[in-house]
Amino acid sequence: MENKKSETNDLVEKPMEPFKILIIEDDEGLLLLVQKTLQRTGFHADGVSNGAKAIAFIVENSPELLLLDYKLPDMTCDQIIKILKERESTVPFIVMTGQGDEKLAVNMMKLGARDYLVKSTNFLDLLPIVVKQVIDRLNVEKKFVEAENKIRMSEEKLSQIIQGSPIPTFVIDMNHIVTHWNKACESLANIPSNEIVGTQNQWMLFYPKKRKVLADLIVDNASKKEISQYYGDRYRESKIIKGAYEAEDLFYGLSEGGRWLFFAASPLRDCDGKVIGAIEILQETTERKLLEDRLIRSERLVATGQLAASIAHEVNSPLQGIVSLLQTIKETHKQDDRLLENLNLVNSGFIRIQDIIKKLLDLNRPRKEIKQPTNINDVIEDTVALLTSHLKSKKVKVDLHLSSKIPKITASPKQLGSVFMNLIGNAIEAINDSSKSSGSCKIIESTYGKITINSNLRQNGIIIEITDTGPGIPREAMKHIFDPFYTRKKEMGLGIGLSLCHSIIEEHNGFIAARNSLEGGAIFSITLPVC
């Protein structure tokens, strides 16, 4: 028994050999930067500058992972992969491209790419994260392939491998009954194994109601068409394990904001090659997805802000001249009350335009304000006090739960006040719009809507959460919520407010995010560093 245990532990815990990585990039400067970036994070990589050299190097040295530039001087990425397939030298690869094209990404994934990276300004930041995640997946696949080939997955050894793995893993048999549910899976789903093993409730990890998961489809020997009915274009065949599939998706049942998971399912076979069940592994990719979204949004905000600022500058100069001319006319016709009244109306319109121009300019870069030692709780309380009359007229109450442990931070009270003013104002509108749209059919427990504001001190900084009892944020709007000029307001909505909030919080080296509460309503969460 001890020998069996030792053999299995060796399979699970033995460190993998360092991955042999080959970078294929025609820009020699970028090639060197990629090599240095990988070296700083513990990876070693060789490099070549064109397709012909790459193919020769691969045939001679058998690298285990390629970082492949999509367009090289002598051939394209897909041509290289086609040649390698013809020579039976297929190697897992990550595509690097200067084009952020979703269609291109999908085509590369279908071709077998493990991931893709856009050569944006944050390319080198994402590079080691993506490489590590791909290598982790390959290591897991390699372990399972080695395990299947070496011991044909005897029940005892399979159980030890799965339970000893840090990767969330479960196994089902041909009757779709869960036979294994490891500790990592317990932690991810918050469901103990004794409640799952022996049942057909594997769906509870992913979904609010019963439906087939990827492992179920493997056991059913489902066709690609049937798998597409469940996963659309978000799945692909494994390039290593025959009959296996993998996918990535966002699952809202795992937490309030949802979690991104990469998951792969593979058939389990007996000694005769007959399928006797399926194994499914999972890897959380939420952190990477959030980072990607932040980087994309930041780049989009900068580009849009620069354009908006350029337009605003062009409009501002003639506008100043018109306002000055209006003042001159008013001074020369002081006795004409009717004319002065009309001029005041015109002037108020120009003031509105000036306010819009100021906001457009702030999109490019929030105005520099003097930062000083600031108590966040005081800023929140002052903002709520300013809105007292408005809250009362709209029948909305505010509950404050502000921690006394929060220290002062260096910040601009004026800018943070405008952020809280915007978020509370949006919450008031959401609550009132929800009440209007539901009409008399809605059962209302109280005549007042409610906004709850919490502040807490945690290890990663000060967390402020603003929760409302409105309808929440539609799923299709969630990814655009901080984009400039994106608005769902029917009247007087420019779509600038939340973009400015995002810029101000980033200016304070913080982070702002939105999600829906499980009880209904939206939650805006702000994280600010203490020092």
On whether both 197 and 319 belong to a single domain, the answer is no
Q: Are strands 169-173 and 178-181 parallel, antiparallel or unpaired?
A: antiparallel
On whether both 157 and 113 belong to a single domain, the answer is no
Residue 66 lies in a domain: yes
Q: Are 25 and 31 in contact (CB under 8 A)?
A: yes
On whether both 252 and 393 belong to a single domain, the answer is no
Whole-angstrom Cα distance, residue 520 to residue 518? 5
> Nearest 5°: phi and psi at 337?
-60, -40
CATH code, 218: 3.30.450.20
pLDDT by residue, tens only, the chain of 531 residues: 444 444 434 433 333 457 789 999 999 899 999 999 888 888 889 999 999 999 999 888 889 899 998 888 898 888 888 888 888 878 899 988 877 666 777 777 778 888 888 888 888 888 889 998 888 888 888 877 776 666 455 666 677 778 888 889 999 999 999 999 999 999 888 899 999 999 999 998 888 888 999 999 999 999 988 998 888 888 888 888 888 999 888 887 676 667 888 899 999 888 788 898 999 999 888 777 777 666 666 665 565 656 666 666 666 667 677 777 777 887 787 777 788 777 777 777 777 676 666 665 665 555 566 788 999 999 999 889 888 888 888 889 999 999 999 999 999 888 898 899 889 988 988 888 765 555 433 433 446 789 999 999 987 789 999 999 988 888 777 777 777 665 555 444 456 678 788 888 888 888 888 888 877 889 999 999 986
Residue 2 lies in a domain: no
On whether both 314 and 335 belong to a single domain, the answer is yes
On whether both 212 and 232 belong to a single domain, the answer is yes
Single-letter amino acid code for the residue at 424: I
Domain ends where: 310, 342, 364?
364
On whether both 113 and 163 belong to a single domain, the answer is no
CATH code, 428: 3.30.565.10
Residue 339 lies in a domain: yes
Single-letter amino acid code for the residue at 269: R
Q: What range does the domain containing 353 cover?
A: 292-364
Tell me the three state secondary structure of residue 78.
Answer: helix
On whether both 156 and 267 belong to a single domain, the answer is yes
Domain ends where: 260, 284, 308?
284
Whole-angstrom Cα distance, residue 140 to residue 166? 10
On whether both 233 and 184 belong to a single domain, the answer is yes
- Tokens matching residue 263: 């998951």
Kind and range of the H or E run holding 344: helix 337-364
Residue 142 lies in a domain: no
On whether both 383 and 473 belong to a single domain, the answer is yes
Tell me the three state secondary structure of residue 407.
Answer: coil
Tell me the three state secondary structure of residue 232.
Answer: coil
- Tokens matching residue 253: 């049942």
Residue 136 lies in a domain: no
On whether both 414 and 518 belong to a single domain, the answer is yes
Residue 187 lies in a domain: yes
CATH code, 57: 3.40.50.2300
Residue 8 lies in a domain: no
**Which residues are bridge partners to 267 per DSSP?**
278
On whether both 356 and 377 belong to a single domain, the answer is no
Domains identified in the chain, total number: 4
DSSP label of 174: T
Whole-angstrom Cα distance, residue 263 to residue 207? 14
On whether both 347 and 382 belong to a single domain, the answer is no
Whole-angstrom Cα distance, residue 518 to residue 516? 6
Of residues 449, 414, 420, the one with CA closest to residue 520: 449
Domain ends where: 338, 364, 390?
364
